[in-house]
Structure 1
Amino acid sequence: MSAIARGAGAAPGTNTPAGETRPLLELKDVHTHIGAYHILHGVDLTVPAGQVTMLLGRNGAGKTTTLRTIMGLWKASQGNVRFDGEAAGGPGVRVSPPDMARRGVAYVPENMGIFADLSVKENILLAARGAANASQLDTARLEWIFGFFPALRKFWLHPAGKLSGGQKQMLAVARAIIEPRRLLLIDEPSKGLAPAIVQNMIDAFIELKQAATTILLVEQNFNFARQVGDRVAVMDDGRVVHAGGMAQLAEDEALQMRLLGLSLGSHQ
């Protein structure tokens, strides 16, 4: 049994079995302003528990803003965000990124958000809330991560700032999954990775999904999206313009062209 499968089951504090598709995260009519700019224009999004939801769309469609609004880095000026049935964003709701982290939400931004002056080991340890030192890390889970990202073992004691771009991306994802999380928000995890490492990351997300981890994933690699995603939401101009099964979108080239302006078949 894998290091993550050992933790599979009902979410903490609930009686919901693993794999059931209750909504863990819901956005209703969410608007977000950044300064004078109105970025999100009424986002409606449902993320079922225990599934991987892909968030797709052209550049500038509002995908990153959606993740940052969920995490509390930017405030929704209208509408509401609910996480596990509780208010997590919207006018009058005071929920900060640390609050979301305490609820079990981990966020991997596109810029990776690692600490360049700290070692790989220290970056991982900071993300492991239950470990005061490296000896308290979940060894089986760490070995599971090393199996997908062997460079992290090799450069365990090296400053993270000295890693290549792809290695930094591996570290950013490893930080998010070093402990079981209720929800992972991940922005373009395959960006800058060699094809072999992309496949390793796909395999890692598939195992996380098998352990009933809920993931909302922005990704431009459509082969990645096809292999990992259960459901898909497509954004355009700050709104969700399509939501449904990932398999349905992957099989419908006409729908792909209408929503994304390209065919997934051309991005193997």
Structure 2
Amino acid sequence: MKTLPSPHSLPPRILIVEDDAGMRTLVQRALQGEGYRVRGVESGDEMWDALANATVDLIILDVMLPAVSGIELCRALRAGYGKSHEGEAPLRQTPIIMLSARGGEGDRVLGLEIGADDYVAKPFSQKELLARVRAVLRRGQTQMAREGSRRERLRFSGWTLDLRRRELLDPSGAAIEISGAEHDLLISFLDNPQRVIARDRLLELSRTRLGDASDRSIDVLVSRLRRKLGDDADKLIRTVRGTGYFFVSEVERL
């Protein structure tokens, strides 16, 4: 079944960054067949040019690219390097699915560690890739709808999350850069303060998905968020061994 746009919006725009022309064409045709707007490029330089000229809703990024690897490009995106024509913030938040011929747990964990929202190992079926794309886009849309029903800011232990700007401010008022997946995870904690949340429930609430039973994706994502929270991390997010996590702070909605 094709993905059709709503009467008031265009279909999601997807950018494929893949140097293998055959693979790029295969993925592009599969996505276009589902109704998505798709552009394919073969290098990091072409990726930056494409992002500077049009907003994208999802980036599918191959790991093995010429000159600059997909790993380095993902790091640069999450660090806020480069600008879309709407500015840096939308670019830092853009979901990323990484493609790689290396599918071991260590490689998947690395992809998630640097800020990817999902990781697909080659070879993969078109059906699997399309399901992953739909899941990442759906979680992003669901998150936006959830945010729209809240007040614009959430405050906890001196920190503030601005939902409209998708911006995290530390107690001094300085902006802390967070990825889309980190943002979604933090909102999951802020929606469920002072209660134990199981790992599988966190996976449902946030954009990250569990590839298999050995995947440590949610622990990796929590570790990333803790690093962003700095010295306050241990006071805010407590590990409940064998179960999940506990968000300690009270949350005020402004």
TM-score, normalised relative to structure 1: 0.26
Between 1 and 2, higher relative CO (CA 8 Å, sep ≥ 6) is seen in 1
TM-score after normalising by structure 2: 0.27
Which has the larger share of strand? 1
Higher helix proportion (structure 1 or 2)? 2
